[in-house]
């Protein structure tokens, strides 16, 4: 099975950055419909996008983890997160650490558990990962706009 077209994923994220999340998700739905292999590749692409800034800022030798802050300010556990957020956090962490075995194991559990009638787990996980990728892409776009302003005006807008 061929990997999903990266242009489709990029276009979907661009729709999200422009504020039309549903149009972006609609573009991704056929990739999910193609089955587990294409969905895994999609989630990997979204994880790459969602973690681009942090990986860029910390370099290739950094090991990433998950920090959860409870509502009272104390350290929490990723087990306390809603399931789609918990999956996204764990998957992105494994992906960022280039731990494909863990990323694949997380996805396998999601796919097996989510392969039931009326189960929204896979859709919720894809939507959460998509939203995180859009947030990261929006930050990158804002950074690039700010750099252009500096280049054009010679002033630091920040």
The answer to whether 130 touches 47, Cβ cutoff 8 Å, is no
Residue 121 sits in which domain range? 6-153
Q: Is residue 13 part of a domain?
A: yes
Residue 38, number of CB atoms within 10 A of its CB: 17
DSSP H/E element including 146? helix 121-153
Q: Is residue 39 part of a domain?
A: yes
| pLDDT digits (tens), the chain, 158 positions | 457 889 999 999 999 999 999 999 999 999 999 999 999 999 999 999 999 988 889 988 889 999 999 889 999 999 989 889 999 999 999 999 999 999 999 999 999 876 666 667 899 999 999 999 999 999 998 888 888 887 777 665 55
**How far is C-alpha 36 from the geometric centre of its chain's CA atoms?**
17
The answer to whether 110 touches 121, Cβ cutoff 8 Å, is yes
pLDDT number for residue 85: 93
| Interatomic CA distance for residues 158 and 155, integer angstroms | 9
pLDDT number for residue 156: 59
pLDDT number for residue 121: 86
* Count of domains for the chain: 1
pLDDT number for residue 41: 96
pLDDT number for residue 154: 66
pLDDT number for residue 115: 65
Name the pTM for this structure.
Answer: 0.86
User: Two tokens at 104?
Assistant: 């694949």
Q: Is residue 158 part of a domain?
A: no
Q: Is residue 22 part of a domain?
A: yes
Q: Is residue 36 part of a domain?
A: yes
Q: Is residue 1 part of a domain?
A: no
Give every CB contact of residue 10 below 8 A, 6+ residues apart in sequence.
none
pLDDT number for residue 70: 86
């Amino acid at each position: 099975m061929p990997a999903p077209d990266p242009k489709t994923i990029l276009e979907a994220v661009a729709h999200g950055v422009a504020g039309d999340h549903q149009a972006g998700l609609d573009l991704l739905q056929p990739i999910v419909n193609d089955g587990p292999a294409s969905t895994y590749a999609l989630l990997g692409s979204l994880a790459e996008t969602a973690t681009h800034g942090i990986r860029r800022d910390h370099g290739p030798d950094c090991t990433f983890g998950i920090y959860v802050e409870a509502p009272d300010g104390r350290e929490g556990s990723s087990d306390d997160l809603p399931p789609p957020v918990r999956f996204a956090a764990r998957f992105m962490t494994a992906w960022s650490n280039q731990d494909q075995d863990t990323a694949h194991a997380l996805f396998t559990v999601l796919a097996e558990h989510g392969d039931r009638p009326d189960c929204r787990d896979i859709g919720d996980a894809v939507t959460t990962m998509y939203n995180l990728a859009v947030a990261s892409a929006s930050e990158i776009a804002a950074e690039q706009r700010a750099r252009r302003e500096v280049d054009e005006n010679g002033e630091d807008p920040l």
